[in-house]
Amino acid sequence: MKIKEVEKGTIAARLGISKDSEICSINGNKIRDEIDLMFYESDENLNIEIEKDRKRVVYSVEKLPEERLGIVPTPFRFRRCNNACIFCFYDQMPGGLRESLYEKDDDYRLSFLYGNYITLTNMVDEDYKRIEEQRLSPLFVSIHSTNPEIRAMMLGRKGKSFDIMHSLERLNNANIEIHSQVVICPGINDGAVLEKTVFELAEFFPNIRSVAIVPVGLTKHRKGLFPLREMTKVECLEIVQNVFIWQELFRKRFGLGFVYPSDELLMKAEFAIPMSCFYDAFPQLENGVGNSRIFLDDIDALNTDGLKNMRAHIVFITSMLPFPWVNLLRKRLLLETSISCDVLSLTNKFFGNSITVSGLLVGKDILYAIKRYKRKTDLFIVPQNGLNEDELFLDGLSISAVNRLSGKNVIALPSPVSLLQKILKKEILQ
């Protein structure tokens, strides 16, 4: 495994290990990727084999178990997805987005490291053995249906046998924790099929810790793809009501709710966002389950005392779905401070009207809205979840580019919202 960087002041730096060299083994164990590095560097006594310029050197180290070597590995080549899911969002994206968005991964290592969802369809015996040996837990698994035929059809593998229950049973026997998701395609895996899926997954509790139920997302770029439709309000409401019934049963059995509707499902059903206790420590935040409750609680906890005399005009930019919650934040500021503010709720022109979540707003749509806004504004605040770690929107436009091209002051909404007071003081009073 090639070394990308050696952190200053660490064991590796003191040994003289340098970047661009290769770490071959630790205590005789081959190092294939950063998971191997994490696993084997935790021993107290290490023999580290390093190769550089075709020469190999072995370093002997004594250290505390929690001490890291300070080696930053080159990212490994991930395993690509071999499915053709009928609802796959990758297939519904136009050209011109960030390059990384077109790379479909289905790699258990990325699931363990970053919470990426995997299908387990490309797993071999060696993969399971490694998961068992290195305790790669938790993993995040896309289920969709426990019915083998329905699941194979949804994964675009009709005619092949993919009985997810056998895979789950093996992981369960190894005590690997799993968080699962079901993407609902109406008329295919809802109704009785969904109920059967949820209760069959519950048989693996406590190792399967949660099930997230998410409505299918359809963009305007679905030419030539499997015919799917959006979920109706009635269909969403039926699932939400069932989830509350199921949760009541699971709380008696397990002491927690186990199954959770995504915020999008709740809002499409026009159902009130449940209180925090409903989400049991929020195990599926990255899947859009419970973010609205956290946002609402953050608004309640916001201290506006330091903003009472601040005179400014700010504009929140969001999408259709979270508009009611962002509007609540606007109302608090209007009632309790001297700040005036608006909320721009954008239609997603890039992906289509049916895409209503804020995380899929692109820089071009935001830039267009800012340029059309005529009132003098001190600050535009855009959704943080629409940006990656490099502060790029999905279309590759950076937030700094939006600032430059609009000629306006544009920042991302801080998280938690309680930091808003500090951000406003910095941006407006500087």
| Residues 198 and 55 placed together within one structural domain of the fold | no
| Residues 136 and 250 placed together within one structural domain of the fold | yes
Query: Does a structural domain hold residue 130?
Result: yes
| Residues 67 and 107 placed together within one structural domain of the fold | no
| Residues 177 and 95 placed together within one structural domain of the fold | yes
Q: Classify residue 80 by its DSSP letter.
A: B
Average pLDDT of the chain, as a whole number: 93
| Residues 325 and 374 placed together within one structural domain of the fold | yes
Q: What pLDDT, on the 0 to 100 scale, is given for residue 289?
A: 97
Determine contact, residues 195/226, Cβ cutoff 8 Å: no
| Residues 143 and 217 placed together within one structural domain of the fold | yes
Query: Does a structural domain hold residue 78?
Result: no
Contacts of 185 (CB under 8 A, 6+ apart): 86, 87, 154, 216, 228
Query: Does a structural domain hold residue 80?
Result: no
Query: Does a structural domain hold residue 79?
Result: no
Query: Does a structural domain hold residue 81?
Result: no
Residue 420: is its pLDDT beyond 90?
no
Query: Does a structural domain hold residue 84?
Result: no
The CATH number linked to 350 is: 3.40.50
Query: Does a structural domain hold residue 355?
Result: yes
**Percent of the chain at pLDDT exceeding 90:** 82
* Core vs surface per residue 143-182: b (16+ CB within 10 A) or e: bbbbbeebbbbbbbbeeeebebbebbebbbebebbbbbbb
Q: Classify residue 364 by its DSSP letter.
A: H
| Residues 23 and 125 placed together within one structural domain of the fold | no
The CATH number linked to 94 is: 3.80.30
Three-class secondary structure assignment of 204-267: CCCCEEEEEEEECCCCCCCCCCCCCCCCCHHHHHHHHHHHHHHHHHHHHHHCCCCEEECHHHHH
> How does residue 32 score in pLDDT terms, banded at 50, 70 and 90?
very high
d(CA 243, CA 176): 25
Q: What is the mean pLDDT of residues 255-264?
A: 97
Instruction: Write the pLDDT tens digit of every residue in 53-68.
Output: 888 999 999 999 899 9
Q: How many CA atoms lie within 13 A of 417 on its CB side?
A: 25
pTM exceeds 0.85 for this model:
yes
> How does residue 103 score in pLDDT terms, banded at 50, 70 and 90?
confident
Q: What pLDDT, on the 0 to 100 scale, is given for residue 430?
A: 58
Name which of 293, 299, 295, 300 is nearest 278 in CA terms.
293
> How does residue 17 score in pLDDT terms, banded at 50, 70 and 90?
very high
Residue 429: is its pLDDT beyond 80?
no
| Residues 42 and 69 placed together within one structural domain of the fold | yes
The CATH number linked to 69 is: 2.30.42.10
| Residues 320 and 372 placed together within one structural domain of the fold | yes
Based on the number of CB atoms within 10 Å of its own CB, is 330 exposed (0-12), middle (13-18) or buried (19 or more)?
buried
Residue 367: is its pLDDT beyond 70?
yes
Count up the domains in the chain and report the number.
3
List the domain range (segments joined by +) for residue 141.
Answer: 90-287
Q: What is the mean pLDDT of residues 366-392?
A: 93
| Residues 208 and 248 placed together within one structural domain of the fold | yes
Instruction: Write the pLDDT tens digit of every residue in 327-345.
Output: 999 999 999 999 999 999 9
| Residues 47 and 129 placed together within one structural domain of the fold | no
The token pair at 216 is: 């299918």
Query: Does a structural domain hold residue 266?
Result: yes
| Residues 393 and 328 placed together within one structural domain of the fold | yes
